[in-house]
Structure 1
Amino acid sequence: MNQFDHFSTALADPTNQPRTTFEALCAFAEQTVGVKLFTMMSFDAETREASRSFSNMPEAYPELGTKPVNETWWTGHVLDGHKTFVANDIDAIAEVFPDYELIASLGCESVINVPVIINGRVCGTINCLHEAGFYTPERVAASNALKLPGAAAFLLNQITSSRSVL
């Protein structure tokens, strides 16, 4: 079974959702672009708040509450501009993320933040981190394949959070 089929099966499984789907998306990202640290951040365009929906390293990056978005050029680029952000060294990461020392301590010195857009708005970002110089132009192009399964995962998270029934 390929990773896309694995993701589709996880999405359909009613067991332990949305975690089952998030874990399958993490595996899909590992195969597609490569990751050491994988997180998903939900974003509310109206309140300008973000929350971590998933982390494959919850000890370092727990899935807790909401926080106001730190308005920087990064937010203009990713959240408002709907563009993927890539940094391939820790100095570039330090320019936009105040937790760069924690990132480096996890063996990560490059990042790709993929905005997931539904109905004209960014609902969240898929964040893949790896060693320095890891996110080549080929891997960045491949990250577009994460957007559709990412949208499904964010929508599932909304459905399960609001306790809606399909």
Structure 2
Amino acid sequence: MTDLSTVERRVTETIGVRLFTVLAWIPERRAMRRVYSSHPEQYPVGGEKTVEIAAGWLEQCIGKQQPYLGADRAGVREVFADADLIDSLGCGAVINVPVVDGGKTLGALNILDAEGSYDETSMAAAVELAPLAVPALREVTR
């Protein structure tokens, strides 16, 4: 099984990342639970997001299983209630990629770096890496 630190390493090597978290989707609560964090002090494992999830983001990433690219600070602010904390970590760009197994959304990779770091090419690369997280998310969502 690929562990999530290996996924983080591959993301770092492929597109670069300053803040990396993995969230498991809990459909019965319509919540996202953090199961991995490169910054556990600011973003502890076990933390949950419910009401602060932007409805459009939830539909796009979890419902339609499509990635989200916020290439600048405005794109980050659009979907994250904690945009000030994200900004304080030097992050102004985000790629959110759904992790899907057999048609079922297991969760999402949250990949953040400095403003302007990501574009459509880096988002496509992140989508290619998302399946690496399937075994670990399959374990935690049982």
Q: Give the alignment's TM-score, normalised by structure 2.
A: 0.90
- Amino acid in the other structure paired with 2:113: H
Deviations 1:58-90 (A, max 9, x none): 011111244435351111111111100000111
The aligned length equals 141
Moved over 6 A (4+): none
For residue 39 of structure 1, give the secondary structure of its aligned residue in structure 2. Answer: strand
Q: Which residue of 2 aligns with 1:105?
A: 88
Shift of 1:144: 1.9
Of structures 1 and 2, the one with the larger relative CO (CA 8 A, separation 6+) is: 2
1:157 aligns with 2:140: yes
- Amino acid in the other structure paired with 2:100: I
Q: Which of the pair has more CA radius of gyration?
A: 1
| Structure 1 residues 71 and 128: CA distance shift in structure 2, 3 A | closer
- Amino acid in the other structure paired with 1:147: A
Q: Which stretch shows the higher mean deviation, 93-102 or 64-73? A: 64-73
Q: Which residue of 2 aligns with 1:143?
A: 126
For residue 29 of structure 2, give the secondary structure of its aligned residue in structure 1. Answer: coil
- Distance in structure 2 (CA, Å) of the matches to 1:48 and 1:124: 11
Q: Give the alignment's TM-score, normalised by structure 1.
A: 0.78
Q: Which residue of 2 aligns with 1:39?
A: 21
* Identity value in percent: 32
- Distance in structure 2 (CA, Å) of the matches to 1:110 and 1:95: 11
- Amino acid in the other structure paired with 1:27: R
Q: Which runs of 5+ in 2 are unaligned?
A: none
Cα root mean square deviation, aligned: 1.6
Indicate conservation of the 8 Å contact 1:103/1:109, yes or no. Answer: yes
1:96 aligns with 2:92: no
Indicate conservation of the 8 Å contact 1:45/1:123, yes or no. Answer: no
